Amino acid sequence: MSAVPEEPTRGPVTAGPVRADSGRGRDPAAALARLVAAPGRDDRLTHRAVVPARAAEEAPWPGWVDDAVVTAYAARGVQRPWSHQVAAAEAARAGEHVVLATGTASGKSLAYLMPALTAIREGRGPRGQRGASVLYIAPTKALAHDQWASIRELGVDVRVATHDGDSSPEEREWTRDHAEYVLTNPDMLHRSLLPGHERWTPFWRTLRYVVVDECHHYRGVFGAHVAQILRRLRRVCAAAGSEPVVILASATVAEPEVTARRLVGAEVTAVTHDGSPRGEVVLGLWEPPLTTGTGENGAPVRRPATAETADLLTDLVLSDVRTLAFVRSRRGVETVARRADELLAEVDPSLVGRVDSYRGGYLPEERRELERSLRSGGLLGMAATNALELGIDVSGLDAVIVTGYPGTRAAFWQQVGRAGRDGGGALGLLVARDDPLDTYLVHHPEALLGRPVEGTVFDTDNPYVLGPHLCAAAQERPLTTADLPLFGPRTREVLADLVAQGLLRRRPAGWFWTDRARAADLADIRSSGGRTVQLVEEATGRVVGTVDGARAHGTAHTGAVYLHRGETFVVTDLDLDQHVATLRRDEVEWTTSARETTDITITAEREHTMWGPCRVSVGEVEVTSQVVSYLRRRTRTGEVIDETPLDLPPRTLATTAVWWQVPDATLLEAADVLGVADLPGAAHAAEHCSIGLLPLFATCDRWDIGGVSTARHPDTGVLTVFVHDGHPGGAGFAERGYRTAATWLRATRDAIAACECATGCPSCVQSPKCGNGNDPLDKPGALVLLDLLLAEAPRGD
């Protein structure tokens, strides 16, 4: 999807929820105009753009499609499929692995259901025996259940079942023995189906198609894990006598054939031309105003994006505009939903309860009920994490608010695409956080709306990912030399390390797993490392939620605020030995954010390039970090209340980094404007902003990466700035930063220069997780330093 940018729009100033005239807000331009026109919102809409409507391109049904499938879709109003659906279905039917990369709500499910359901019905024995089967893989249980409901409602006679953590033992047994269309997720494939593959042999033997839905979701370390799981799946199927065709689908992925090939480990045909119709989409970029409060070191702060979103969500619900607000964090989701409900109670009590929240950590029955209420119109508004970014059918929505840039242009378009799914017009709003990247985008709309989506970044050769999956594969079936190409070029090297560690044993026939434990337990495919920490309410013993062990220091420390479905908790104790954090119920008017100090050591430079006298490198590093304190900020304004020290142990991470060096001689050239005393602050400010801007060039989140800067690093002897991956072995983000360094660092320089503050603020060079309290920071010095670095850099894309 691409927008036609218009001139930046400035409207009369607005604030607070306003009751609009009755009547459903189906006109997205009118809905945006009402938001802008409310009193007190001067200059908040920084840009307005329109994605024009698109006409449909139809194609005849392929002659091989089962009549029951054609009849079922005709009953739902689908007389002829769209051109891209037929193209993908024909490729899959011909035995080609295929990736379908067309827009949100473009009917990708019909493209894979044509060959999948037809194969099932064709292969069935005379007494209904399973002769062909299909495995559908979704990144979330919610999406798998949504697809299960859609197939059941279609009315075609196939035996369909889900296999996930919510399935009972009886349901799993029936699925294994009888189901023809099985819906699961990578976690269950990794921990259940593949380790127990021998019991599933009849299913593997008949497996014709593997559907990998929302494949853009598999990025970073998670993507690397899923790529290895798919290789293990293909290997198990080959042993059972089948070679299933893999069909991948995504609304938003650049170079889809490259991403799909890396995921599957084989050549893939791409179908990208979209033949589906689309209503007009009106887009707005929105920046909350500066407040009268101040942050660290007296820096100005903007109104929190969550508070702004709660107001906008309330306004849209009052106008009868069905709206979904995406919020980055679980805590933010709870905050937005609760505040919107409070505002609705003030203006129209009849609408209380018509806004709710949706995020991970809810019970399965809670999630299903929320999804049903959103579809039926029982809910007019919802605040959600990216769990609802995926292809769950929530047609009928009129507007989407994206609270904070979601990390990639792909995710932005995916979220905006949740509205207007019934072919009508839609409104999409990006509300900027007080953050360098968000601020850059709302003032440089061409960087968001005028560029294609990113390529998906993940490193299939990361030994910290590859090693555990080789162990799991060896337990499933002993590894042979013939298997090595399937798992990638570093396989033999990693196998040697596993043998040296005693995890595998080398014999003439291959590599064997000899431990009694489950090899699959070596890899936690969604965690960044560390055992999960349970959050327990101290008064009742109830488990409120969980956090990854690697994030527990920063999010479950003593004093941390945690929200769950409108309830506010404060962490009273974090027991790292027992992996438990205890909480108490407490209504507080602040949020918390952890501070972390970091040291870094270069262990190996992999590659470098020279920009005149300056050096840019990528390689392996060892990072030692420690959470040392946390800040309390007022919920409504973002103003800092105080800082509290913490006593938590340091942690060490071996990972990948990109770093750049400026030699002393070059610094001397600018000594008149960049004094020696300013160097640490200049490097620190440049580091912070570059971390904030890297997600524009690599499919990562700011919290997936970290950084260190120093006026003289012991390993280089000169001024050096590092940006490193936050995952063991690296996730590909720093590598991507190195490949796009000139463009990335120029954008960093431009973001600092464009910010309206004088000495640095959260929108440019301050970081919410800086362990040094954002001191020292020298904003003017950072500009001089980046100009020196970029003086002889190549012109980027």
What's the pLDDT score for residue 584?
95
Q: How far is CA 342 from CA 17, 65, 185, in A?
A: 11, 52, 37
Q: What is the pLDDT of residues 613-623, one digit of tens each?
A: 999 999 999 99
Confidence of residue 526 (pLDDT cuts 50, 70, 90): confident
The 10s digit of each residue's pLDDT in 122-134 is 999 999 999 999 9
In the three-class reduction of DSSP (H, G, I as helix; E, B as strand; rest coil), residue 604 is classed as strand
Question: What is the CA angle 368-373-378, rounded to 5?
Answer: 165
pLDDT class of 163 with cuts at 50, 70, 90: very high
User: What is the arithmetic mean of pLDDT over 508-531?
Assistant: 85
Grade residue 13 by pLDDT with cuts at 50, 70 and 90. very low
DSSP string, 438-450: HHHHHH-THHHHS
Residues found in the chain = 797
Q: 437-477, pLDDT tens digit by residue?
A: 898 899 889 888 877 666 666 778 888 899 999 999 999 99
The full 3-state SS of 77-114, as one line of letters, equals CCCCCEHHHHHHHHHHHCCCCEEEECCCCCCHHHHHHH
pLDDT tens across 385-433, in order?
876 655 555 666 899 999 999 877 878 888 888 887 666 789 999 999 9
Average pLDDT over residues 331-350: 92
At a CB cut-off of 8 Å and minimum separation 6, what does 93 contact?
A: 62, 64, 114, 115, 118
Q: Which amino acid makes up residue 388? A: L
Q: Is the pLDDT of residue 252 over 70?
A: no
Q: H or E element: which one contains 161?
A: strand 160-162
Q: Report the pLDDT value the prediction gives residue 528, as an integer from 0 to 100.
A: 55
Residue 456, pLDDT score? 67
Whether 673 contacts 784, CB under 8 Å: yes
Residue 768 pLDDT exceeds 90: no
Mean pLDDT score of the chain? 88
On the question of pLDDT at 253 being above 60, the answer is: yes
Summarize the confidence of residues 139-161 as an average pLDDT: 90
d(CA 86, CA 275): 10
CA distance 10 to 291: 19
Instruction: Reply yes or no on whether the pLDDT at 112 is more than 70.
Output: yes
pLDDT beyond 60 at 4: no
Which residues, other chains included, contact 381 with Cβ-Cβ below 8 Å and sequence gap of 6+? 313, 314, 316, 317, 322, 323, 324, 325, 340, 354, 355, 356
- Residue 221 one-letter amino acid: V
pLDDT of residue 422: 61
Q: List, in sequence order, the alpha helices (H) in 638-740.
A: 664-669, 679-693, 733-739
Confidence of residue 762 (pLDDT cuts 50, 70, 90): confident
- Reference 737, options 700, 771, 765, 774; nearest CA is 700
Task: Kindly report, residue by residue over 347-397, the tens digit of the pLDDT.
Answer: 999 999 999 988 766 666 777 788 788 878 889 999 998 766 555 556 668
pLDDT band per the 50, 70, 90 thresholds, residue 677: low
> Closest Cα partner for 281 from 104, 417, 431?
417
Range 333-340 average pLDDT:
92
What's the pLDDT tens digit per position in 594-640? 888 889 999 999 999 999 999 999 999 999 999 999 989 888 777 88
Per residue in 698-753, pLDDT (tens digit) is 777 777 889 999 999 999 999 999 999 988 888 888 998 999 999 999 999 999 99
Q: How much of the chain exceeds pLDDT 90, in percent?
A: 60
pLDDT level of residue 547 (50, 70, 90 thresholds): confident
| pTM of model > 0.85 | no
